[in-house]
Structure 1
Amino acid sequence: MFDKRTLLIGSLVLVAVASRLLPHPPNFTALGAVALFGGASLTGRRWAYGLPLLAMLLSDLVIGFHGWAPVVYGAMMVYVWLGRRAGSSSTRVIGASLLGSVAFFVITNLACWWSMYDHSAVGLTACFAAAIPFFGFTLAGDLVFSGVLFGAMAMAEKLSPSRFAPSLSLGC
């Protein structure tokens, strides 16, 4: 069936995804970190990209969909792509978290600008300026939850290397 590492990853992802349903500051969620973690930890592309999409879909069924959902889902795929390149090095995870937050900010705010603001430099500037507070929460959430997810995995691997050896093969 599943090995201990797979069960741990699944449990961490479920706990992190559940955090989206609890009260939180805007954009301070675990989803970016879950996508990074899945990208770095799951060898199968289908699982790595599918887990954050499934998490978004399930949580959106509870909290509701919005017009930019496809853009947000696409931005989550950037996190997975970054996670697949970052691996589990703490420096690279921090860098991927920062890049993921910036990419999410740019992608989602370009969509917002295009649909809600004047298509000019003034409109673009106004859109991005209005979104700055959300960026801070996105960045904080990505860094905090990435630290929790990657840190918990590193601790599990250190405490019980034979059970949590990095040989995860949810390959598809």
Structure 2
Amino acid sequence: MNMNTTNPRLAVGPLILAAMIVLACLSRLLPHPPNFSPIAAVGLFGGAFFASRNSALLVPVLAVVISDVALGYINGGLYGDYVGSTGQLIVLGATVLCTVIGFALRNRKSSVAVATAAVASTAMFFLTTNFGAFLADPQYPKTVAGLGMAYVAGIPFVKWSLISTLMYSAFLFGGFQLLRSGTPALRAQTV
């Protein structure tokens, strides 16, 4: 029997990728240290594995939005104002940039390449979101010193961002490779 990789009945790979990304994002609902988040890792993972660039960009963003809405529902007013805010749009933009970094991993998913991309994504996420905080938050004067204040304020959170991005990347990339190695239908398709 010929395994046709375009047969919709066999196209479980993209569904598994999407499910892994959504589950990783929903882990944000569990108690965690500040900035311990799967967001950068899901962008990398989507960019590295989805054959369709549109899916690679869309699925991580939708998963972040779903988890943001869930956080808003659970936390009410504390988080509800975040959904649809400039802050959320900046995070979603940073997620897209992480996905673009993930595109570079498509043909080389070694541990070193994934770890390097995770560190680069963490740095990019830090630079992007703190620049956004500088622009959006009136507490920062719109000067070079104000920009410096925004970046200094974010430094205590970088450690947790880096640890979580490395951990979630290992879980997602390693977990999917394990699934592929044990599932012939996944090995036979381009996802």
> What is the TM-score normalised by the length of structure 1?
0.88
Amino acid at match of 1:92: A
Stretch of structure 1 that moved more, 59-68 or 83-92: 59-68
Match of 1:158 in 2: 181
CA RMSD, aligned part only?
A: 1.8
Amino acid at match of 2:113: R
Name the SS of the counterpart of 2:86 in structure 1: coil
Stretch of structure 1 that moved more, 112-121 or 6-15: 6-15
Residues in 1 aligned to 2:88 and 2:17: alpha-carbon distance in whole angstroms: 25
Using a 3 Å threshold, how does the CA distance of structure 1 residues 115 and 18 change in structure 2: closer, same or farther? Answer: closer
CA deviation after TM superposition for structure 1 residue 49, in Å: 0.4
Paired positions, count: 168
Match of 2:29 in 1: 21
1:16-69 Cα shifts (integer Å, max 9, x gaps): 121012221122111211111111000111110001111122122222324311
The percent identity for this pair of structures is 31
After superposition, where does 1:14-163 map in structure 2 within 5 Å?
Answer: 14-63=22-71, 64=80, 65=83, 66-87=85-106, 88-116=109-137, 117-160=140-183, 162-163=184-185
Using a 3 Å threshold, how does the CA distance of structure 1 residues 166 and 25 change in structure 2: closer, same or farther? Answer: farther
Residues in 2 aligned to 1:103 and 1:166: alpha-carbon distance in whole angstroms: 34
Using a 3 Å threshold, how does the CA distance of structure 1 residues 141 and 2 change in structure 2: closer, same or farther? Answer: farther
Out of 161, 168, 171, which is 2:190 matched to? Answer: 168
1:107-153 Cα shifts (integer Å, max 9, x gaps): 11111112331122322222111101121111111100000000112
CA deviation after TM superposition for structure 1 residue 166, in Å: 6.5
CA deviation after TM superposition for structure 1 residue 4, in Å: 4.2
Amino acid at match of 2:101: L
1:64-96 Cα shifts (integer Å, max 9, x gaps): 324311111101001100111113222111111
Residues in 1 aligned to 2:177 and 2:10: alpha-carbon distance in whole angstroms: 19
Using a 3 Å threshold, how does the CA distance of structure 1 residues 131 and 51 change in structure 2: closer, same or farther? Answer: same
Residues in 2 aligned to 1:119 and 1:8: alpha-carbon distance in whole angstroms: 45
> What is the TM-score normalised by the length of structure 2?
0.80
CA deviation after TM superposition for structure 1 residue 2, in Å: 4.7
Q: Tell me which of the two structures has the higher relative contact order, counting C-alpha pairs closer than 8 angstroms and 6 or more residues apart.
A: 1
Using a 3 Å threshold, how does the CA distance of structure 1 residues 112 and 166 change in structure 2: closer, same or farther? Answer: farther
Residues in 2 aligned to 1:89 and 1:153: alpha-carbon distance in whole angstroms: 13
